[in-house]
Amino acid sequence: MLLETLVSASEAVQATPKRRQKIGRLAECLRAAGGDAAICVAFLCGDLRQGKLGIGYGTLQAARPERGADHATLSLGEVDAQFDALAHTQGKGSKGERARRLRQLLTRATEREQRFLLRLVTGELRQGALEGILLEAVAEASAVPAAALRRAVMFAGDLRQVATSVLSEGPAALSQFRLELFQPVRPMLAQTASDLDEALAQLGEASGEYKLDGARVQIHKSDGEVRIYSRQLNDITSSMPEVVALAQNVPARQLVLDGEVAALTPEGRPLPFQVTMRRFGRKLQVAEQQAELPLSVFLFDVLHRDGQDLVDTSYFDRLAHLDSVTPSDSSAWRTVPRLIRPTQSELSEFAGRALAAGHEGVMVKSLGAEYQAGRRGASWLKVKPVHTLDLVVLAAEWGSGRRKGWLSNLHLGARDPEAGGFVMLGKTFKGLTDTLLDYQTAELLKREISRDAYTVYVKPELVVEIAFDGLQASPHYPAGLALRFARVRRYRPDKSADSADTIETVRRLHQPAQSAARAEPGL
């Protein structure tokens, strides 16, 4: 397949805001990929199969020839082979050799292909092909139901792997993707509800649970072997030996458990999220950290037990399995406090107890829901007394005065799964301590893709939790909405941009406020 074919599809996807047209154009490109399916899927995801090449923006610009080739001749296979060579160029003189190879590649590319390749290598390729859209395009191109493909991705943890298999081998390839011990499953996520009444009305028969300020973990056990995975499916087993020891003593031979870990005060109150996160990915001085910050495990779901996969059973049935492997007298290994089928008054009182205990709020979960990766179906809803959203940093402005030298004012965006990309909702420089300013300046500069005199534009990767007092109509932003009194609560290094809140969630939060305003006398 010629690179030109993929570039044309990418440009067409960027040019249209219509989801259906995006899916159709991507599906057409995928069908044409043939044996280059793996490369095609990676490029459409904005990724390289080789990972990061370690080539800076300046080197790329310096390697770009003054003009492009007159005709498109590059194939995807040739481009991928050059990226392989670049990835393996190491040692003395490697910088010059990389620049030579890169210039050689770009000389053969047309100007359109050059722009595409430069953006691909820098991670700047935002073409509206977010995973949800690309997944549906793969389903259309391979003639498989999107639900079946989505299920396979949940088990594999990687759309590229599933897409490559199904495009190369056909629908039968999906049978190889199933729940397997020590292969982490993509987690089920919650959407936001404006209040408890809305959550109960939407879900019907439900469970109310404490919403903890902890860190998500997935625990796999087979006999004496235990592995622990983070929200982003990274293996973090070595950093939390006490959790491993607790899991080894659970009365079950095989388990896949979903929950959170949290560091607690001696009185049992949760310490701030950032404190708990100090334990994640730790490789050195683990024993010292364990003694200083022991972790407690709070479980809320079970996906597999002793040879039985449970993802397709109801949440109510999964809770029975969970209770059978969780002792009632343990302070370090327990289920999240919950109420089954609470009334509105019972749930309100329950939420008050959760807040009094130092937790964030409550989760309301449909008792009939199967386990589905992501936020599909809105079967889990979170309700907090202070509105918060997980947004993505799109850019940041340099500070002035005392903040000179720091990136300060953040440009915030919500994920747009329909059109692809991110929709800006406003800016904020509030809530930033010196520690956070240090952190965000370093992390954002690592993700820089361009800048002007005042602003650094970055890859949309860094997720930040934003508290706000409300939403208001605004002609200044593409979504027509802006955050009121937004302030930074914390960064979420445990989350990827794909798990940020969507613009649809933001619009739903705005609707109750609009209804209340219309109901006010005189408005």
Report in angstroms the alpha-carbon separations of 497 from 101, 167, 377, 461: 32, 26, 20, 5
Nearest to 199, CA basis, from 514, 510, 509, 506: 509
Would you state the structure tokens that stand for residue 98, as one six-digit string?
């990389």
The residue annotated as part of the active site, out of 22, 92, 211, 382, is 211
Distance CA 40, CA 183 (A): 25
Distance CA 336, CA 111 (A): 56
Distance CA 196, CA 382 (A): 9
Q: Which residues of 28-57 are buried (b: 16+ CB within 10 A; e: fewer)?
A: ebbebbeebbbbbbbbbbbebeeeebebee
Torsion of CA 178, 182, 183, 187, to 10 degrees: 100
* Cα 367 off chain centre by: 25
Report in angstroms the alpha-carbon separations of 62 from 58, 163, 517: 6, 35, 56
Residue 211 is among the residues annotated as catalytic for this protein: yes
Task: For tokens 């067409």, name the residue.
Answer: 12
Dihedrals phi, psi of 274, to nearest 5 degrees: -60, -30
Distance CA 507, CA 516 (A): 15
Q: Please tell me the chain's helix, strand, coil percentages from 3-state DSSP, rounded to the nearest 5.
A: 40, 25, 35
DSSP, collapsed to helix, strand or coil, labels residue 460 as coil
How many Cβ atoms from other residues are within 10 Å of residue 312's Cβ? 11
Which stretches of 215-285 are DSSP H helices?
241-248, 273-277
| Amino acid (1-letter code) at residue 327 | P
Would you state the structure tokens that stand for residue 363, as one six-digit string?
């989760």
Q: Which residues are catalytic?
A: 211
